[in-house]
Structure 1
Amino acid sequence: MRRYIGFFVLIALALFTLGCNQREVAGDEKTAKEFIEGKGYRVTSLLGQLDQYNLTKNMLYGQDTLIYRQIWGVQASEPDRYFGKEISVYGFIVSKHPLEKQYNAKTRLYIMLTDGKVIGGYSFPDIEGLVGSVYSLEGKTLEEVTGLTFTEWREKWIQKYGD
């Protein structure tokens, strides 16, 4: 009988420990996670809130703005409508994403929200040490998203957001 009680105590402790290791997903992170799952991707890890900023035109052209140009270049909507808005970015590692086949690795998805609503996002293969530009949420390049060559896109970007 003691053996059975000890066994059940061990099972109960294991289940309790597993439950404690999973954190509650709420608010914007929950909205972002549900958005990802709605696209058919499977969330395997939560990376939490990775960035929060107020978008300004100055962030889109000039020194130290490369990452924002890459991110906003692959969005379906223009960044102008979000000037002055607080943007929150949540990260996830997902499977079943188009980049998974191309790189034979899981994918990092970054979801951007403002006012509690998803406004876009971007993706990148989950490969340590890999460098390059980000992809759209669906794994498309800047050229695929815009229909322009990089040079054509850059010229338009400079005209619109340059000094």
Structure 2
Amino acid sequence: MKLKDEEYFQRCHSLMNTEGNLTTMRTLYYRPLPNSLPPGQVRLGEHSDYGSITLLFQDDIGGLEIENKEGEYVPATPLENTVIVNIGDILQFWTQGKLKSTRHRVMIPDDKDKRVIVRRSMVYFVRPDNDVIINDPLAYRDKEKTKEPNVTPITSHQYSMMKFNKTFNY
């Protein structure tokens, strides 16, 4: 990425696996569904991930769709022995949109045989350390760093809590 500070990302994630960082590994379980549901139903609504990157390991049931550049959702067909890497909101902030946070959703499979089977996935949500300022753009070697005037600094923890509260209504 031609960063002036090549160790920036490593330093911003140095507290992983401690209380100073909200990086999380989750297993997701989707119950079997009745075949009486009409096709085209959303199983998990569209969203983007809050952190820097997300690593997704999914089974072969499918249903994950990713929004493309035209704003259309396309299937992320499961491929054996692959990991999906999503750019998160914070990496989009840092790169000033050079890298885009991936909007995605999970649909109920049209295949009635797959509806009655449990869908499972394992997700590693990578987040910067809690005290890292996330709305301060990265410094690149080939251009001057620009910063929005009068922007109140927001930390990774503040942003995550704001998003958690909005998502889960705590």
TM-score between both structures, scaled by the size of structure 1 = 0.20
Q: Which has the higher contact order (CA 8 A, sep 6+)?
A: 2
Q: Tell me which protein shows more helix as a share of its residues.
A: 1
TM-score between both structures, scaled by the size of structure 2 = 0.19
